[in-house]
Amino acid sequence: MKKLRLLPIFLCILTVTLVSCDSVDFGDINQDDDVPQEANVEGLLAGGMNQFFTNWGRAYFNNPTLYVQYQAQSTYTTEMTYGENQYPWTDYYSGVLSNFKEVYEITTAEEIPSTVPGFGHPDNQAAVAEIMSALVFKRVTDTWGPIPYSNGDGSVGEALRGLDNTTPAYSNQQTIYQNLIERVKAARDMIDPDAMGPTGDVLYGGEMEKWQKFANSFILQLAIQLSDTESADFAAQEFAAALNHEAGVIETVANEAWYDYQNSPGATNPLSQNRGSDYVLADSFTDALMGDTNDDSTIVYSNTTYDDRLNVLSSEPSSSGGAYGIAGIVNSGASISSAVADAGSDLPYMTAAYTYLNRAEAAELGWTNESAADMLTNGIMMSYESVDTHWDENDALDSDGSDFAAQRLVDAATADGGMEQVIAEEKWVALFPMGFDAWSEWRRTNDNMDWGNNRGGDYPYTATGYPGLYPAVDATNGGEIPSRYIYPSAEEGTNSQSYQAGVSSLTPGEDNNTSNFWWDVE
């Protein structure tokens, strides 16, 4: 009974307390003084770049090296035989693209936080974040096809709004590519090379003149990727404008973009993460560089001269790589050299060689007045110099590439695919071991040449593209080298409307690894 008599008094006190709380300012009682209350643009930029450059594993690094036959698998051969798995894109959108978006928004806001200029001129920070965002978005769209990207007006937004929009629309590749070129141009033109570069720049260390050259070289790459599409005229104009821009393009090893892996936690060469016994060089790659591609070879390739770059790229230059595309095989043979694959070894993300070879192709297409032969020669020699500078620890490279380049010009005069074939083959070598860019290049040329089947026996498939790659012997997807990744597993259930729209734009409209997208339609 005492408890019942006290209840009204307690409720009264509680009511007064709750009403009183509405007007009480508790200040920063719940604020942790050790947690920064303002975004750290240096950390965001460095974090996004580091995560992108150090992503590893089958989905984020290895698979394309198998598709373009840089490597072959041993024992665990699902990816080499084209098993249709759904691969995630989370590590691109979260912590990479989201970081770059936040850096850009902070450094271009009407009111920039007072701490921001201490990490570099805001325009330079914004420019690097935008160029990196474009680089990553190219990777994502080249891998899956139509992807979450824009609001439909060419501006980035819908894909990176987090919980504010968990069902972003997919953009078509024509929109994405044209917008990427515009974004890279705008970012390049924001750069003030005389002002302080971003302290969070882990690629060029804030050297903004190099970023300008990188931007122009990247535009060349983007434009060439559109050369077989209805946007070819647009691409030709953008290529010429970037090539002739006053900031120039990457023409020397000193201006190349190599990520410096430090063999420290969070900054490790992705190739080094592989168990050594699981991967070897593919025999098609070693045969091509040895100049040993006879009629029954596993690759169609115009070179008949030993390529000295193999002395640096291979762990055993005199040995062939492993058999490609055989299920369950216990492979043996040469592997990628430790100079390239060790935990602290650098990897290239834009080189003078690739830039010159893009210029060679543009000249061959009639987009410029440059000499395709001169650009091809420069591309080969710069590849030799780049390999020598970054990987040749034991002076294994015996030449500067000039003699080899001269022979490749002879090959261009006799090869079935002419100069176009040799340029594409040399891109394949110059891009090693960066499988994603090489895969994009090969897919773009896949409909340029069907080589038939010269392998003999009961091998059922034909070689296509430049270089002429034969599908895996034991392919599980009908015998086609994959042209894309299947969309991540969650998309069909959580973003079904956008997912269905993306799938319907593929050719054929099926979510499998042999469907083609816009710039890859055969």
User: What are the DSSP calls for 129-149, one per residue?
Assistant: HHHHHHHHHHHHHHHHSSEE-
Structure tokens at 111: 């009111």
> What is the C-alpha to C-alpha distance for residues 376 and 372, in angstroms, rounded to an integer?
6
191 in Cβ contact with 124 (< 8 Å): yes
pLDDT at 7: 36
Residues with Cβ < 8 Å from 221, sequence gap 6 or more? 350, 354, 358, 437
Is residue 27 assigned to a domain?
A: no
pLDDT in tens, 208-232: 999 999 999 999 999 999 999 999 9
Position 137 pLDDT exceeds 50: yes
> What is the C-alpha to C-alpha distance for residues 492 and 495, in angstroms, rounded to an integer?
6
pLDDT in tens, 94-115: 999 999 999 999 999 999 999 9
155 in Cβ contact with 183 (< 8 Å): no
pLDDT in tens, 43-85: 999 999 999 999 999 999 999 999 999 999 998 999 999 998 9
Count of structural domains within the chain: 1
Is residue 6 assigned to a domain?
A: no
What range does the domain containing 373 cover? Answer: 41-272+341-454+456-520
pLDDT in tens, 464-475: 999 999 999 999
**Per-residue confidence band for 277, with pLDDT thresholds at 50, 70 and 90:** confident
Is residue 125 assigned to a domain?
A: yes
Looking at per-residue confidence, does 264 or 18 come out higher? 264
Across the chain, mean pLDDT equals 90
Is residue 89 assigned to a domain?
A: yes
Is residue 512 assigned to a domain?
A: yes
Strand partners, 204: none
Which helix (DSSP H) or strand (DSSP E) does residue 171 occupy? strand 170-171
283 in Cβ contact with 323 (< 8 Å): yes
pLDDT at 270: 95
Averaged pLDDT, 266-287 = 91
> What is the C-alpha to C-alpha distance for residues 236 and 458, in angstroms, rounded to an integer?
44
pLDDT at 448: 78
Query: Residue 451's closest CA among 296, 305, 228, 306?
Result: 296
Residue written as token pair 């307690």: 10
Task: Calculate ∠ Cα 7-13-19, nearest 5°.
Answer: 135
Is residue 34 assigned to a domain?
A: no
> What is the C-alpha to C-alpha distance for residues 199 and 44, in angstroms, rounded to an integer?
11
Strand partners, 259: 347
How many C-alpha atoms does 462 have within 13 Å on its Cβ side?
8
Query: Which amino acid, 436?
Result: F
Structure tokens at 325: 């595309």
**Per-residue confidence band for 15, with pLDDT thresholds at 50, 70 and 90:** very low
Is residue 493 assigned to a domain?
A: yes
Calculated CA dihedral for residues 66, 72, 77, 78, nearest 10 degrees: 0
> What is the C-alpha to C-alpha distance for residues 284 and 292, in angstroms, rounded to an integer?
10
Averaged pLDDT, 372-376 = 98
How many Cβ atoms from other residues are within 10 Å of residue 406's Cβ? 12
pLDDT at 4: 38
Widest CA span of the chain, in angstroms? 108
Position 21 pLDDT exceeds 50: no
Query: Residue 115's closest CA among 33, 48, 44, 41?
Result: 41
349 in Cβ contact with 257 (< 8 Å): yes
pLDDT in tens, 140-193: 999 999 999 975 444 556 677 766 777 889 999 999 999 999 999 999 999 999
pLDDT at 156: 56
**CATH assignment of the domain containing 368:** 1.25.40.390
Position 23 pLDDT exceeds 70: no
**Per-residue confidence band for 37, with pLDDT thresholds at 50, 70 and 90:** low
Is residue 332 assigned to a domain?
A: no
